[in-house]
Structure 1
């Protein structure tokens, strides 16, 4: 479901990104709108599925997972669903994207060490239907996952890009 965003929605999301635990009354004061307006906007964003939740942003390196990699996985096309379900059971798998190109899946992995990563890759290779993988190590993440710049662009009709 696609919903329309406006500048207030963008500002609300920016405030929540900075401080997800901020009370609604304080949000309303920061944004210069009524508390009921903030509540209604939050309810609309959540019920539409545009906002999926407010989980903590965990620094995986800070808790011992310093090795990050992307695994391109080539597989038997008729096995894609069971392979995805198997990957869902691997706690080190952070994301899986179905892709075009040589790899059928792009799998993001966090590991404690290179040895740990090797063992995870070996487990992926052992999945029935996985034909080949290509591993790309992430040396740094200069821009992490983000969505607010796009939301801001949408709501402010920026002429950039």
Structure 2
């Protein structure tokens, strides 16, 4: 995602809008306006502007993965056998096709990528690791760290 060069300064009303919508993206504009201390029309205009400049990139339902049977979380360090641009791009494309990989970040570390993988249990994770992650382009090795408890998790 590219950040527009002409990104406007965000004032306290913009910050309040972003805070409120991050808590409840379905909040009616009238309630949002009441919360931030503006009327409906300028609040709508500010939300539209924040969308147009790419500060707000979308709205979605926040799902509870545990209620969906996906309570097992593992973090996976991935080392690649090739880190030239073509290999990185091939790996990145392939990762996007694995639904169990919830997040994937290229790292400046002793390994190349860090993934957050969510599955139903350890047996399911083992299957995903062997059949999906290890088969991604240029994977040389992986190291897994299993989360015991989520203390703070985005969106939940």
Question: Which residue of the partner structure matches residue 127 of structure 1?
Answer: 136
Displacement over 6 Å in runs of 4+: none
Question: Which residue of the partner structure matches residue 140 of structure 1?
Answer: 149
Question: Is the aligned partner of 1:35 residue 2:40?
Answer: yes
What TM-score, normalized by structure 1, do the two folds share? 0.84
Superposition map of 1:77-156 within 5 A: 77-78=83-84, 79-122=87-130, 123-145=132-154
Query: How many matched pairs?
Result: 146
**Unaligned 5+ residue runs, structure 2?**
none
Question: Which residue of the partner structure matches residue 149 of structure 1?
Answer: none
**Unaligned 5+ residue runs, structure 1?**
147-161
Give the CA RMSD over aligned residues: 1.5
**Equivalent position to 1:62, from 61, 67, 83:** 67
Superposition map of 1:41-52 within 5 A: 41-52=46-57
What TM-score, normalized by structure 2, do the two folds share? 0.86
Secondary structure of residue in 2 paired with 1:60: coil
